[in-house]
Chains A and B, each alone.
Chain A
Amino acid sequence: MDKRVVGKIRRVVGPVVEVGEVRDAQMAEVVEVGPDHLIGEIVRLQADLATTQVYEDTTGLRPGQEVWGTGMPLSVELGPGLLGTIFDGVQRRLEVIRQQSNQYIRKGVRVAPLDHEKKWLFRPTVRPGDRLGPGEMIGVVRETEVIEHRVMLPPDIVGIVDSVVPEGEYTIEEPVAVLSAEGKTVEVRLSHRWPVRKQRPSAEKLGLSLPLVTGLRVVDMLFPLAKGGAVAVPGGFGTGKTLIQHSLAKWCDADVIIFIGCGERGNEITDMLIEFPKLIDPRSGKSMMQRSIVIANTSNMPVAAREASIYTGITMAEYYRDMGYHVAVMADSTSRWAEALRELSGRMEEMPADEGFPAYLPSRLAEFYERAGMVRTRTGKIGSVTTIGSVSPPGGDFSEPVTQHTKRFVRSFWALDRQLANARHYPAISWLESYSEYTREVAAWWQQNVAEDWLSLRNEVMELLQKEARLQHVVKLVGPDVLPDSQKLILESCTLLKNAFLQQSAFDPVDMYSVVQKQVKMLRIILTFYRKGLENIKRGATLVRLRRMKVYSEIVRMKSDVPNDQPDLLDALERRLSRALDQMGAVYEQSPEAT
Chain B
Amino acid sequence: MSNRATPQVLEGREYIGLSEIVGPLIVLEGVRGAGYNEVVEIRQPDGGVRHGLILETSREATVVQVFEGTSGLSLPDTRVRFKGKPLEIALSRELLGRVFNGSGQPLDNLPYPVSDEWRDVNGLPINPTARDYPRKFIQTGLSAIDGMNTLIRGQKLPIFSGSGLPHNQIAAQIARQARIVGEDVPFAVVFAAMGIKYDTARFFIDSFEESGALENVVLFLNLADDPTIERLLTPRTALTVAEFLAFDQEMHVLVILTDMSNYCEALREVSTSRSEIPSRKGYPGYLYSDLASTYERAGMLLGFRGSITQMPILTMANDDITHPIPDLTGYITEGQIVLERELHQKGVYPPIAGLPSLSRLMKDGIGEGLTRQDHAHLASQLFAAYAHVKEVRALASVIGEEELTPLDHAYLEFGEGFEHRFLAQGDHEDRSLEQTLDLGWEVLSTLPEEELTRVTEEELEKHYKGK
Contact = CB atoms under 8 A, between A and B. Distances in A.
Instruction: Tell whether A and B belong to one assembly.
Output: yes
A346 B285 contact: yes
Contacts of A63: 7, 32-34, 57-59
Contact of B56 (A11, A65, A356): A11
A507 B37 contact: no
Interface stretch (B44-52, B262-270, B395-403, B410-418): B395-403
Interface string A347-373: 001001001100000000000000000
Contact of A394 (B278, B322, B335, B395): B322
Contact of A296 (B128, B286, B331): B128
Interface residues of B, number: 89
Contact of B127 (A18, A103, A236, A476): A103
B38 interface: yes
Interface string A38-71: 0000000000000000000111111111000000
Contacts of B247: 103
Contacts of A57: 122, 124
Given A265-B334, A339-B285, A343-B289, A103 B126 contact: yes
Interface string A333-351: 0001001101100100100
B102 interface: no
Contacts of A422: 355-356, 383, 387
A12 B335 contact: no
B296 A237 contact: no
Interface stretch (A154-162, A267-275, A446-454): A267-275
A192 to B, nearest CB: 27
Given A98-B127, A103-B247, A395-B327, A58 B36 contact: yes
Contacts of A266: 126, 128, 131, 296, 299
Contacts of A382: none
B318 interface: no
B132 interface: yes
A392 to B, nearest CB: 6
A20 interface: yes
B384 A423 contact: yes
Nearest to A58: B36
A60 B36 contact: yes
Given A336-B288, A395-B322, A423-B384, A12 B57 contact: yes
Contacts of A553: 450
Interface string A89-115: 000001101100111111000000000
Contacts of A232: none
Given A12-B36, A58-B36, A238-B335, A65 B322 contact: no
A481 B335 CA distance: 38
B380 A424 contact: yes
B279 A342 contact: yes
B350 interface: no
B22 interface: no
Contacts of A271: 133, 364
A300 interface: yes
Given A64-B6, A356-B279, A424-B380, A104 B35 contact: no
A303 interface: yes
Contacts of B36: 12-14, 58-62
B454 to A, nearest CB: 8
A513 B85 CA distance: 53
Interface in A391-433: 392, 394-397, 422-425
Given A238-B336, A475-B395, A479-B399, A106 B124 contact: yes
A301 B127 CA distance: 9
B110 interface: no
A180 interface: no
A556 interface: yes
B311 to A, nearest CB: 16
B37 A270 contact: no
Contacts of A105: 124-127
A477 interface: yes
DSSP majority for the A interface?
mixed
B304 A103 contact: yes
Contacts of B32: 63-64
Contact of A13 (B56, B134, B301): B56
B280 interface: yes
A103 to B, nearest CB: 4
B324 interface: yes
A349 B394 CA distance: 49
B404 interface: yes
Nearest to B297: A300
Most buried by B among A62, A95, A237, A478: A62
Contacts of B38: 59-60
A94 B127 contact: yes
A422 B384 CA distance: 8
A499 interface: yes
B291 to A, nearest CB: 8
A51 to B, nearest CB: 12
B130 A299 contact: no
B277 A346 contact: yes
Given A394-B324, A480-B405, A267 B299 contact: yes
Nearest to B301: A103
Interface string A208-219: 000000000000
16 contacts: A14-B36, A60-B38, A64-B6, A103-B127, A237-B327, A265-B296, A266-B126, A266-B131, A270-B132, A273-B128, A300-B289, A392-B331, A423-B355, A423-B383, A423-B388, A425-B384
A-B complex: 10 closest residue pairs judged by Cβ atoms: A395-B322, A11-B58, A64-B7, A299-B292, A423-B387, A104-B124, A300-B296, A237-B330, A59-B37, A422-B355
Interface of B: 3, 5-9, 32-38, 55-60, 85-86, 120, 122-134, 154, 247, 276-280, 284-286, 288-289, 292-293, 296-297, 299, 301-302, 304, 321-324, 327-328, 330-332, 334-336, 355-356, 358, 360-361, 363-364, 376, 380, 383-384, 387-388, 394-395, 398-399, 403-405, 450, 453
Given A237-B327, A261-B128, A425-B384, 12 more contacts: A12-B58, A59-B37, A59-B122, A60-B36, A94-B127, A94-B128, A104-B126, A266-B299, A270-B133, A343-B286, A476-B394, A479-B403
